[in-house]
Structure 1
Amino acid sequence: MMLRQFSGFATTGLVLCAGLALSGCLGPTYGTGQSQGAQLFNDLDGMLTLGSSTNKEKIDYAPRAELVRPKQIGALPAPQEKIDATRDPSWPESPEQRSARIKAAADAKAGKADGALPVDVMLSRKEGIEDEAIAANTYNAGSSRDNGSTTLSVQEMKSGGEGFRERLKESRQGSPTQRKYLSEPPIAYRQPAASAPAGDPGLDERVKEARYKKDESLGSKIRGILPF
């Protein structure tokens, strides 16, 4: 008797729990337009009907077409001979081949198969060396382009000094008759006024400083000495 009552209570509790669980599924869902219970039953129905073999679309398998064969088999072209791509003039040259070619040309120019190269051959312009590298490794890039000489003549030294002074002059104040950059003031602004003193450098800064110290009072001198 007690066992039947306990089983009845257990059954009633399970029914109530299932009812509460299902009551939470009866609320509306966001954006679907149907209740959660209906959505749950649809998902379960889709899972059950997923593996069914009914209502499958039949595929019509057609036989594969035969290969198209040539009408005349005896007139086929002969196979192409093996072509060496490295002999093609448009084939790019590898760095190793390029180095070997330059070395062979230098050896042929020096007249020696092995051994040290002459100084003029070593300092002359080489293939593949840029002007920046030549200028960095020599004193004068212009002379090294011609004969590889690193000795500056008197005329080259003099012209280099004049060019340096000219560039320094332009960088400091510019030309009074030519406006080279837009940042420079116009030429009309560089002309002095007719009433401006010309050729008068004015008082020297040392004279001005001496006069200022002489006219300075004793109190200002003491205040200048104090650190506060």
Structure 2
Amino acid sequence: MNLRKMRAATALGVVLAGLGLSGCLGPTYGTGKSAGAQLFSDIDGMLALGPKERDEIDYSPRAELVRPKDKSVLPAPQASVDAASGGKWPESPEQRRARIRAAADARDTGGVVQPGELLADKEGVTEDEKARNTWAGARQNQVKGILTPDELKSGREGFMQRLAESKQGSPTTRKYLSEPPIAYRQPSSSAPVGDPGEDEDVKQKRIDGKDETFLSKLKSLNPF
């Protein structure tokens, strides 16, 4: 019985030694461990399911709120931003909508928008835009739109010059690539220049037998 145990232990030792040698001789695949050692390490890590040691969290209570000693006297309210800035604060979106709605209602009902509404300080409106919204500014814009005789003359001369260029062109230069040369615009010697020809309606009536000219009437009276 003891002999069998000794043989089994010897065989087991030989197997383990062979596994160890094969593990030492095997590739490491960049991990620094042999394949057998890495396998035993992975199996050991899978079996170690116990919790790891972690640092305890310090749950310290918060500090209490600072309460005033005398609760009978309340502090004075703060001044509004509009009053503190002297009334020059930009209007709020609600005020802007109310102002635009009031101006629209006044125009729809035929009322006149007050000058104070037009000249009021508004966000993004410059002094030049205020001036244009007044009657004087509108009148000034109308005066600026009237052309002087010299301006009218220069505009007419420029128009006539452009018209002449578009019709005649230049024999040496072309303004556009699609503009044909002057020689191509001249009619040939055999072309009927100035003769508009016969109207197409008259030709069609002659073909249909509905010609009402004097010669056609005389022809219709001829029995032969």
Same fold (TM over 0.5): no
Q: TM-score, normalised by structure 2?
A: 0.31
* Structure index of larger Rg: 2
